[in-house]
Structure 1
Amino acid sequence: MKIFYAIQATGNGHISRAIQLYPFLQKYGSVDFFLSGNNSSLNIDLPVKFKSEGCSLHYSKCGGLNYWDIVKNIKPTQIYKDAKSLPLKNYDVIINDFESITSLACKLQKVHSVQFGHQASFISKNTPRPEKKNIMGEMILKHYATSPKHIGLHFEKYDSFIHPPIIKDEIINSNPKNLNHITVYLPSFQKDCLEKAFNKLADVQFHWFLNDIAFKYSEGNITYFPVDQKQFNVSLINCDGIITGGGFETPAEALYLRKKILSIPIRDHYEQESNAAALKKMGVPVVYEIDEDFDKIIKNWLNTKIIYPKIQPNNIPETLQHLFDTYHN
């Protein structure tokens, strides 16, 4: 069997999930990966056969999306050419993790596909949304990467087609400890947006992962790390808590490890705001704006005992068997 797997590289989560799934997919046949976008900072240890600039996210300085930069870097003519050139009819199964070019290619070439991943869960009206719904955000979630079939992943089973999150083996097989540091991963924030708040908390040790850091070094109570999967896993497994965005994979792993979470969703990013709404229902504190009192918010969070519900990891063999058994249904 030949399998085509499309990855939306607007963040590290989609790639991390694909890396975890790859050995299981190989049991069904050969796998070729298509990578679209350029926001990921992970080393991609996958057989990527096709690439496209696609659509990438661009951030403002302190925690928001820069829609002007996003739009001006989209190349519709190139996207159409890329969609036409993908040889999808050479494959038996098309798996699409929220990638728009593959979705377009399936329509042009009249090829079947399944949308598999976190964004697929938003097809259900039961999946949590922020109090104030956003029409454009809903349209993107439902129409950006359409498919006739959906297998969603989320924190909880909000609908029949939604499965638990894919948790990395390194996390599942770990022996979690509390070494009294706070792990920080907020790719939409530049260093000077948060550094002052962290420095005010001199008795708290921070492990801060940043895209523009080339090597690990320490200044005061902050240890700066490059975005590296192995170092991040070690930090997360041994942290007291994590300050992160409103993504899916990192909060899911933190919940699995029973770590404290402080979520700061990317401003004007509807999917992250929706994830934050789901986390809020689970008892996770959410911060929407960073101001001069952010250090006090962190201190209060650290001093508050919170018990989150235990989440179960995805049974990958079972979920993939379901995907292949029902692919044409």
Structure 2
Amino acid sequence: MRIFYGVQGTGNGHITRARVMAKALFAAGIDVTFQFTGRPAGKYFDMEIFNGYQLRTGLTFNTNKGQVSYLKTACDVKPITFIKDVKSLDLAGYDLVISDFEPVTAWAAKTQKKTVLGIGHQYAFRHKIPREGSDPLAEQVMKYFAPADRSVGLHWHHFGQPILPPIIDTPEIPQNVLKNKIVVYLPFENQQEVIKLLSPFKNFEFHLYSPGDISSKFAHIQCNPLSYEGFQKDMYNCSGILSNAGFELASEALQLGKKILAKPLHAQMEQISNAAALQQLGYGHVMHDMDSSIIEHWLHDDHAVRITYPNTAKVLVQWIQNGLPEMDTDFIENIWNAVEVLQINL
């Protein structure tokens, strides 16, 4: 079986999910070609697991000071390049096309009249899940950015809908957690402003990961370049995650039992909805602006939620090998019945 798998590369969450799927697909002996779009070639890192991959320009969203800039996004779109990318992608030799909200793959499949399977968090928004910050433009983006004929939506809870748990690694639960160690990943915020905001909290050790070359003059704030291995190592024994409201990082934090403080991007419906879901479920804290008083309260909160999710990637690979049968109620309920939610004290 040959699969072409397109992944949106703008944020690291899609790539993290793709790493887990790649491991499961390759373990099943499936021949997979991965394509990534949405960021410059030199900005990808730790991509060895994909066994060689294709890169195209694709489409992405531009942000400024923690907010999506639709004007800059529109100005930076390269329609001729996008059309060329779509036309140059030949999917004739593949048995299945998958898109993790990746537009070039999705539109190439549509143009070539090949069925495309959408797998990812964004496809959960086809169902009745917590939704805030929506507007007509956001709804159209969700619908047409990376259209799929069939889709598998992912979320932290089923909300009574035919969606599945997150696709994440299922590591052993950490035995030694450093109570004052906090991992910070706020790539869409001004990093110097983040450092300034965290500087008064000297009783905590902050490990800040940033896409740029950032330095800190404070001993308790350590700045790190983006690194999959380094980030996972720091995340494993920290007590909390301070981040934007991306889906995949929060999923990993819940799996490991880390407390969460999420700051959603302004004007980004998906992140605002993720924040609403975290609050509704009682899985994390939210701040809509960078607020030192909220951060201080969260830092001294010892409560967290640990969720044991099943190996969704393995389930999906088996489902793909079985020919993508309809997911009936029993199939979905059996998967969610394996989920365990535990309230813990750090």
TM-score greater than 0.5 by the shorter chain: yes
Equivalent residue for 1:166? 167
State the distance in 1 between where 2:304 and 2:325 align.
42
Say how many residue pairs are matched. Answer: 320
How far the C-alpha of 1:241 sits from its partner, in A, is 0.9
In 2 relative to 1, CA 248–217 (structure 1 residues): closer, same or farther, beyond 3 Å? same
- Cα distance per residue 1:262-301 (max 9 Å; x no partner): 00011111111111111111222111112xxx22211111
Deviation at 1:315, TM superposition (A): 3.3
1:237 corresponds in structure 2 to: 236
1:129·1:277 contact (CA, 8 Å) conserved in 2? yes
Does the CA contact (< 8 Å) of 1:141 and 1:271 recur in 2? no
Residue correspondence of structure 1 range 1-329 to structure 2 within 5 A: 1-26=1-26, 27-38=28-39, 41-45=44-48, 46-60=50-64, 62-124=65-127, 126-130=128-132, 132-169=133-170, 172-179=171-178, 180-213=180-213, 219-283=218-282, 284-290=284-290, 294-308=291-305, 310-327=307-324
Distance 1:176 1:66, change over 3 A: farther
Question: TM-score, structure 1 length as denominator?
Answer: 0.90
TM-score, scaled to structure 2 = 0.86
Distance 1:66 1:217 in 2: 28
Q: Percent identity, please.
A: 32
Give the conservation status (yes or no) of the 8 Å contact 2:258–2:306.
Answer: no
1:101 Cα deviation after fit: 1.4
**1:50, distance to aligned residue in structure 2 (A):** 2.6
CA distance in 1, matches of 2:176, 2:45: 25
**Please, which moves more after superposition, 155-164 or 142-151?**
155-164
1:207–1:114 CA distance, 2 compared to 1 (3 A): same
1:39-94 alpha-carbon deviations (Å, 9 max, x no partner)? 7653222134432111123221x211232332222111221121111111110011
Q: Deviations over 1:176-234 (max 9, x none)?
A: 432121110011012222222211112221111111137x9773210111111111111
RMSD: 2.1
Stretches of structure 2 lacking an aligned partner (at least 5 in a row): 327-346
Deviation at 1:129, TM superposition (A): 0.6
Distance 1:89 1:328 in 2: 23
Amino acid at match of 1:89: A
Question: Which of 241-250 and 20-29 deviates more?
Answer: 20-29
